[in-house]
Amino acid sequence: MIKELHIKLKSWLMIVAMLVMATNYSYSQTTDPIRIKGKVTDDKGEALVGVSVLIKGTSKGTSTDIDGNYAIEVPSTAILLFSYIGFDPQEVKVNPSGVINIKMAGDKVLDQVVVVGYGTAKKKDLTGGLAVVGKEQLSMVSTPNLMDRLVGQVAGFSITTGNAAPGAAQTLLIRGENSISANNSPLIILDGIPYSGSLADIDPNNTENISVLKDASAVAIYGSRASNGVILIQTKRGALGKAQVAYRGQLGLAEPMQQIEVMGPNEYIRFQQDIGRLRQGYTGYLLDPVAGDIISVTERGNYLNGITHNWQDYIFRRAATMDHQLSISGGTENTKYMASLAALDQDGVVYNSRLSRLNMTTNLDQTFNKWLTIGVGMQYTRRSDGGVTPNIEHAIKQSPYGSYKDAAGNYVPEPMEYSLIANPMRNVNAIQDRYNNNFFLSGYANILLPVKGLSARSNFGYNYRSGFTGTYYGRNTFDGREQAGLVGGSASISNSHYNDYTWENILKYERELGDHRFDVTGLFSMQQTKSVGSSQSGQGFVTDDTQYYMMNTAARNIINDSSLSETALLSYMGRLNYSYKGKYMLTLTGRSDGASVFGINNKYAFFPVAAAAWHIGEESFLKDNVKWIDMLKLRVSYGANGNQAITPYRTLDRLYSNVKYIWGDAGIAVNTAYLAGDGVGNPNLKWETTYSTNIGLDFQFFKNRLGGTIDVYNSRTKDLLMTRTVPIMNGYSRIWDNIGETQNRGVEVTLNTVNVNGRDFKWNSTVVFSLNRDKIVELRGDGKDDITNNWFIGKPLRVFYDYNMIGIWQTGENYSMQPGAAAGAAKLEDVDGNGVINTNDRTIIGSKNPRYMASFANRLNYKNFYASALLTGVFGVWRDDHMANLGAWTFGITNYVHGANYWTPENPNATIVSPGYLNTQGHGYYKKVNYVQVRNITFGYRVPQNITKKVGVSGIDINASVNNLHTFSNIRQVLNYDNTWMASYPTARSYMFGLNVNF
């Protein structure tokens, strides 16, 4: 018995010993560390820098380097957590191989690589304020103008199309106006090179993306030219893969979005009768259209014969657009290429207006070895947009009974026998050819130096532009007619040539040491421009057949002119970007610029900027407790940027020689030179400098379903480049100087939402809001306003300063306080309260800049169908109320707007003054305007690939869209809501049909 117990006990002890040994062995196996390494990429195979790699349940971890690689020692049974802002986190169990490569997926909005000054950066790492407009947003609007596609897409970026003619220039403003007299336009950078050509020359279908740099930190890298912001335009380049051939075509029809509704024949006669009785005192037969004197003799004849005209039908038209582009792109590991050819033919909605544009683009990137890559890009544009167009104002104000053409088919010069309102078509038969050639070359060389993280880059850009305009008014036009025994024909030609070059050399050093990551950039840059122009004009040609080609045969009024302008810029720049644990970021930038436009005493200026960012959402007190925050980043920046945008030679004395004198009775006219009242230079002229503070918040919430940015900024611009008035006893009356100060404040908000994210149906929205308040802080140092120029200290830069109309005087009221007033006259406000209306009662009516702007964009996808819509709005901008300015509109004889509620004794509750009112004060009429435009609606269909493969192509996209469908506003009688003049070139409503095919 004892022996059996001994045997059993021994067996149990052996089992326990074996279990202990197994446990100990197992424990040693789980605690012995192993080395894990690998690479983290996105779904395209691109390395992700700064990915957090943590051992689950511990605080031990590391992060990926600049090549996406990582290495870490972990227990063999550990689980690794991979997390990265903007991507879905991953958990991976360690495997014995020791190699774990991770491909991360998710919403990569924050990891998007964006173009910044002299390089790129991930969006989540930005310390400065900028906005990026990608291909998806650029394709929301289908017009052939690049800037039209940006309207409403970027907070704080205003694009005003004052002249809506095809190919016309637009006004661009980033965060309002800082300067009173100097240029407020932003700097344009095309493929890394400053670009001063027309943006109408750029094919928008070749644009990859656009970055708009707004705050001091973002623009500091460009120094002196960047105080008004920077627009970086990147064209498409080749990508790894087989050759891809693509065709993009559009056909469209356009018409004026709206016309001015003028009085019809019967309403016009009643209006002329009211003018006659209220202004001229006519009664009885004098008010009769035939026997009286209310319309001209020509109008009476057409009245009797029932002949009327709608003059806007003659000057406006439906216009066709054809836009075609063929491109090829592709590449190998070492060679990447892209080439495209595009042709645009666009007729304008005004008679004789047109735009023809030919674009040729090539981009080539060649990697020779591990340390050398060279790229070159070329763009050539041939643009033609000539044509003498009708006078729009004359068509709107023309009498419906005026004569259009005579019996011979010629345009009647004065349809109403009134010289101020002539036939709008009287010069449309003139010949005008206008051509512009633009050649833009950009190249770079990237060199990896034999020091880890050190690289060099050299950029070179060259731009040559030439322009030619030739115009001939023949005998079949009013300006070229034969008169008073003088030979007819009038011709003019002008030529312009512009070239510039930019050469930049950049040295960059990037390193990552543990939790610290930094890069240092140094720059040396030079730029030179040269502009040459010449022109000729003359009258009196033997025949019209020679047009403008034989200027030497002109008989009279021969004028020759020429010009030359040159500038140069020399710059040095340094920038440091530092990041700690990917959560705390700092950017320090300094740039020194020297510009030839300034005097010898102040050629150079230095502009420093500092910016910092903090990923608050990565802090444990938020990350561990608030799960719906995906990213929360605070940005702060402060610094100075300069403005050199003045005409060259303002620092030098300038002699004028455009006056001829005759010395003696028998002498001949000879040129002379004189110092004009504004011809004295100022050698102390220096940079206009803007000091800006920006506080920004970037955020992504609810698994990236809601994201956006909020920016608040304050700018003060000092040493304004302005013309100051000096006593004439100096021998001159005006001189350029650095005087005055302005302030610019604003708020910008951008919200991006994913409303629906289903398998088949997706719906995204973007809301953009911005407001800007500018004011003049100081003018000339004496605290006095400049009433002549409407500049007032403490008030906005651009204001209306005039008498304020508060109503209409009525019969029986005492209007003796207002000189020239009578019943039906404008009642002006007695601002100073002294009982008399005089010049002291003029006051500031309002700002010419909007109170705020907003836009709302929607993008929807359902299986292979897609749709988008964009609305933009401008609110609280003061404009001239041309409809209310009855006297200036009609001159007492012309047509007027339909349904005008003007004052008569029978209509005392009117909103418009009496036709008999004589505006002796010369005041204007103003209104605060709001308008919302349906900028674009697009519907499209992507043909499934199983169908496209059957026809031998890889993709087909069919779409239809309408641009400028309608405008909702508190005013109606205008042709272009971006223009203060009611008779400007009209905004076009266009219907576009597109076809995209990838082969």
Beta-strand runs (E) in 474-603 = 490-513, 516-539, 556-580, 584-595
Lowest mean pLDDT among 12-21, 347-356, 458-467, 582-591: 12-21
What does each C-alpha distance from 780 to 726, 739, 742, 777, 813 come to in angstroms?
A: 11, 5, 12, 10, 44
pLDDT of residue 112: 64
Instruction: Kindly state the average pLDDT of the residues 523-551.
Output: 95
The span from the CA of 215 to the CA of 639, in Å, is 9
For residues 4-37, one letter each, b for 16 or more C-beta atoms within 10 angstroms of the residue's C-beta and e for the rest, the string is eeeeeeeeeeeeeeeeeeeeeeeeeeeeeebebe
What is the 8-class DSSP label of residue 409? S
Q: Which token pair is 515?
A: 């939790």
Q: How would residue 7 be classed by pLDDT, with cut points 50, 70 and 90? A: very low
What is the mean pLDDT of the segment spanning 524-542? 95
Q: What is the pLDDT of residue 24?
A: 42
pLDDT exceeds 80 at position 545: yes
Neighbours of 276 (CB within 10 A): 22
How many Å apart are CA 406 and CA 414, to the nearest integer?
A: 11
What strands, in cross-sheet order, belong to the sheet with 90-93? 61-63, 52-55, 79-83, 90-93
- CA dihedral defined by 808, 809, 815, 818, rounded to 10 degrees? 30
Collapsing DSSP to helix, strand or coil, 334 comes out as: coil
Q: Which two tokens stand for residue 921?
A: 């004060």
**How far is it, in rounded angstroms, from Cα 981 to Cα 811?**
33
Q: Which residue intervals of 728-870 are DSSP H helices?
A: none
Dump pLDDT digits (tens) for 438-450.
999 999 999 999 9
957 Cβ contact partners less than 8 Å away, ≥ 6 residues apart: 940, 941, 942, 943, 994, 995, 996, 997
Question: Over 80: is that where the pLDDT of 224 sits?
Answer: no
With a pLDDT cut of 90, the percent of the chain lying above it is 64
Pairing of the two strands 90-93 and 61-63? unpaired
Per-residue pLDDT at 65: 80
What's the mean pLDDT when you consider all of the chain?
A: 89
Residue 255: name the closest of 870, 964, 868 by CA: 964
Query: Which among 108, 63, 102, 53 is positioned nearest to 86, based on CA atoms?
Result: 108
Determine which helix (DSSP H) or strand (DSSP E) holds 392, and give its type and residue range. helix 392-397
Query: What's the mean pLDDT in 971-982?
Result: 91
Three-point CA angle 186, 192, 196, nearest 5°: 45
Backbone φ and ψ for 840, nearest 5 degrees, come out as -70, -10
- What's the pTM? 0.84
Cβ atoms of 109 and 123 within 8 Å: the answer is yes
pLDDT band at 805; cut points 50, 70, 90: very high
pLDDT score of 656 more than 80: no
C-alpha to C-alpha distance for 179 and 160, rounded to whole angstroms: 18
265 three-class SS: helix
β-sheet bridge partners, residue 39: 69
With beta carbons less than 8 A apart as the criterion, state whether 696 and 635 touch.
yes
Do the Cβ atoms of 852 and 884 come closer than 8 Å? Answer: no
pLDDT in tens, 750-789: 999 999 988 889 999 999 999 999 999 999 888 889 898 8
* C-beta of residue 953 within 8 angstroms of C-beta of residue 994: no
Say whether pLDDT at 128 is over 50.
yes
Q: Over 50: is that where the pLDDT of 955 sits?
A: yes
Which of 38-42, 770-774, 891-895 is modeled with the greatest confidence? 770-774
The radius of gyration computed from the CA coordinates of the chain, to the nearest angstrom, equals 35
Residues 70-84, mean pLDDT to the nearest whole number: 86
Q: Is 841 helix (H, G, I), strand (E, B) or coil?
A: helix
Question: Does the pLDDT value for residue 28 go beyond 70?
Answer: no
Average pLDDT for 899-911 = 95
pLDDT at 16 over 50: no
- Residue-wise pLDDT tens digits, 475-496: 999 999 998 889 999 999 999 9
Q: What is the pLDDT of residues 858-888, one digit of tens each?
A: 999 999 999 999 999 999 999 999 999 998 8
**Phi/psi at 17 (5° precision):** -60, -40
Output the pLDDT for position 603.
Answer: 87
Contact assessment for residue 724 and residue 735, using Cβ atoms and an 8 Å cutoff: yes
Spatial neighbors of 902 by CB under 8 A, at least 6 apart, are 274, 886, 910, 912, 913, 914, 915
pLDDT at 951 over 90: no
What integer pLDDT is reported at residue 30 of this predicted model?
43
Stretch among 14-28, 62-76, 361-375, 388-402 having the lowest mean pLDDT:
14-28
Torsion angle, alpha carbons of 493, 497, 498, 501, to 10: 170
- Confidence at 813, pLDDT banded by 50, 70, 90: very high
d(CA 163, CA 894): 25
Give 117's pLDDT tier (boundaries 50, 70, 90).
Answer: low
Region 817-835: what's the mean pLDDT? 94
> What is the pLDDT at residue 110?
54
214 and 637 Cβ atoms separated by less than 8 Å: no
Torsion of CA 271, 273, 277, 279, to 10 degrees: 50
What the block records as the tokens of 473 is 């008014």
Question: Band of the pLDDT at 958, cuts 50, 70, 90?
Answer: very high
The pLDDT-based confidence of 26 (bands split at 50, 70, 90) is very low
**Residue 673 confidence (pLDDT):** 72
Which region among 148-152, 308-312, 534-538 has the lowest average model confidence (pLDDT)?
148-152
pLDDT higher than 90, residue 226: no
Structure letter (DSSP) for residue 912: B
Tens-place pLDDT, residues 177-194 = 988 888 889 999 999 899
pLDDT in tens, 588-610: 999 999 988 888 888 888 999 99
Chain centroid to CA 98:
53
Mean pLDDT of the 17-45 span: 61
Which one-letter amino acid corresponds to residue 789? N
Residue labelled with tokens 């006990």:
9
* Residue 380 three-state SS: strand
Beta carbons within 10 angstroms of residue 140's beta carbon: 22
pLDDT tens, position by position, 671-706: 777 677 677 888 888 888 999 999 999 999 998 899
Confidence of residue 963 (pLDDT cuts 50, 70, 90): very high
Q: How far apart are the first and last CA of the chain?
A: 93
Helices (H) and strands (E) in the chain, counts: 10, 49
Averaged pLDDT for residues 229-256: 91
Q: Which residue has the tokens 């063929």?
A: 326
Single-letter residue type at 218? A
| Residue 109 confidence (pLDDT) | 52
CB 508 within 8 A of CB 474: no
Within 8 A by CB and 6+ apart from 320, the residues are 251, 252, 253, 254, 345, 347
Q: Is 15 helix (H, G, I), strand (E, B) or coil?
A: helix
Is residue 104 packed enough to be buried (19+ CB in 10 Å), middle (13-18) or exposed (0-12)?
Answer: buried
Instruction: Tell me what the mean pLDDT of segment 232-248 comes to.
Output: 89
